[in-house]
Amino acid sequence: MTEASTTSPETSPAPAGSSDRRAWVMAGSLVLAFGLLIGLTWMAGGFDQRDDLGTVVKPGTTIASGPYEFAFMAGTAQKTKGLRDTEVYRVVLSGTGRVTGNEAMSPTTLDWMFIAKDPRSPAYQEPQSQQFGAEEFRGSSGGSFFTPGLPAIPYRLTFDFPVDEFEAGTSIQLGVWILEYRDVSLLQTGDVRWAPSDRLYRYDLPLRRLADDLD
């Protein structure tokens, strides 16, 4: 049996600027990890003691987040079938929304600014979809964004919770991340846009159970 050599391999000098790139990547990773920690803290109820990170608001209260204003009032929960015919609790949270600037916008679905949590279990979900405009015109009008210069319009968020994780009760929590205009790129290359901060508003919304729809 031969023994492994204990001689350290020679290393070539790092290219110029590599340490700076590693520093930016490390900083970006820390930011992402911190954001995840903030989210997990809220899901565990930790923001009840951290008023600097989360602000609890009553149903119907209008809040401002970046270029948007929202007010959420209540929600419904219905056992139904989701993707691949799996049973889910479909939670629809209703409110109003508007954009305060001069550009038509909608909350991005790539990095949602909303998160719903079942206060009776650890279950939480980001939205499955969003809907603009009056309920009776679903699928025929209402657009897919907020039009500048108009008052608040009906706005709904839909969440799908696995039935084995969700306990349909009389309330649900909705977190709305406070957006900030910042460079979202890891290397700070100038990709500036509205993005969630480490602070949020939390609604405790009444939840009404609807009859099951499993057909």
Q: What share of the chain is helix, strand, coil (3-state, %, to 5)?
A: 15, 40, 40
In a domain, 140, yes or no: yes
Tell me how many domains the chain contains.
1
Is position 102 within any domain? yes
Which residue do the tokens 């290397």 mark? 187
What pLDDT digit, counting tens, does each position of 165-179 carry?
999 899 999 999 999
DSSP structural state of residue 213: B
Amino acid 120: pLDDT: 92
Q: Is residue 85 part of a domain?
A: yes
Under 8 Å between Cβ of 158 and 126: no
Has residue 165 been placed in a domain? yes
> Per the domain annotation, does 12 fall within a domain?
no
Asked, for residue 90, whether it belongs to a domain, the answer is yes
pLDDT of 12 above 70: no
10 Å Cβ neighbour count for 138?
Answer: 12
192-209 and 68-81 beta bridge pairing: parallel
Is 66 inside a domain boundary? yes
Among 26-40, 142-156, 184-198, which is the least confidently predicted range? 26-40
pLDDT digits (tens, 9 = 90+) for 56-102: 999 999 999 999 999 999 999 999 998 888 999 999 999 999 999 99
Residue 170 confidence (pLDDT): 96
Domain assignment of residue 183, yes or no: yes
E-only strand ranges, the chain: 54-57, 62-65, 68-81, 87-99, 114-117, 124-125, 129-132, 153-162, 171-183, 192-209
Average pLDDT over residues 176-193: 92
What is the structure's pLDDT at 83? Answer: 80
Contacts of 180 (CB under 8 A, 6+ apart): 66, 194, 195, 196, 197
Q: Which residues pair with 206 in a beta bridge?
A: 171
Residue 49 has pLDDT above 50, yes or no: no
Which structural domain, as residue segments, surrounds residue 49? 20-209
Q: What is the pLDDT of residues 108-128, one digit of tens each?
A: 998 899 999 999 999 999 999
